[in-house]
Structure 1
Amino acid sequence: MTREDMLARLIAQASTEGGELITLRAIVEEASELGATRVLDRLGLADASAQDDIDELRELLSAWRDAKASAWKAMVAWLVRGALALLLVGIAMRLGLGGLLQ
């Protein structure tokens, strides 16, 4: 019996016997399982290698986040170094050591 058949039987049972709580819960559970299966099929994640694919995507995303964080840190470090170099040049000019810079 497929999930569609089970869901149809549960809905028929609920309409004939009334909506008992256990029947309604079973309908919700079967409908959600059927919906999840359809979504996984549409995304192409219903096969046996889907878990490996998701694991690889997570590793790739983690590596991207690490690379992005490293790039930001490097950029900030270069900006700080540039600002400090300009500050040192400014101090040297103030102290009259501009001749040493030429």
Structure 2
Amino acid sequence: MSGPGSAVLAQLLAQSAGQGADLLALRAIAEEAGDLAAGRALARLGLEDAQAAKDMAELRELLAAWRAAKKSLWKAVLGWIVKMALVLMLAGLAVKLRLWELLE
């Protein structure tokens, strides 16, 4: 067991065992209650059928693809900004050095 919820559960189980209840039966009840609650939560989310695992895997793939596309887009935008800054600097340098007069 781990986490604050399981610490409370462990304390309740220990308290019930101290009052004469069978610890094994209490653990089985707690486990069954947890399974039922998890099943209800999955049903409320629409994830109780056999396709749920496949659907979740596809959603994770889609999310990973979205993140990769977003990262690629930002890299491309940054690349264009850097290129435009370099072009502007070269144009400014050409004006400063009067390089257009060599073309005439």
TM-score, with normalisation over the residues of structure 1? Answer: 0.72
Please provide the CA RMSD for this pair: 2.5
1:8-46 Cα shifts (integer Å, max 9, x gaps): xxxxxx69x734433332232112111110011111111
> Matches of 2:55 and 2:71 in 1, distance apart?
24
**1:84: which partner in 2?**
86
2:69 to 62, 67, 70: 67
Partner SS for 2:47: coil
1:38 to 30, 36, 40: 40
Superposed counterparts of 1:1-102, under 5 Å: 18-99=20-101
How far residue 99 of structure 1 moved from its aligned partner, in angstroms, is: 4.6
Runs of 4+ in 1 over 4 A off after TM superposition: 98-101
Q: Which has the higher contact order (CA 8 A, sep 6+)?
A: 1
How far residue 98 of structure 1 moved from its aligned partner, in angstroms, is: 4.6
Partner SS for 1:63: helix
> Matches of 1:62 and 1:68 in 2, distance apart?
10
Unaligned ranges ≥5, structure 1: 1-13
- How many percent identity over aligned positions? 55
- What residue identity is the alignment partner of 2:24? I
> Matches of 2:84 and 2:56 in 1, distance apart?
42
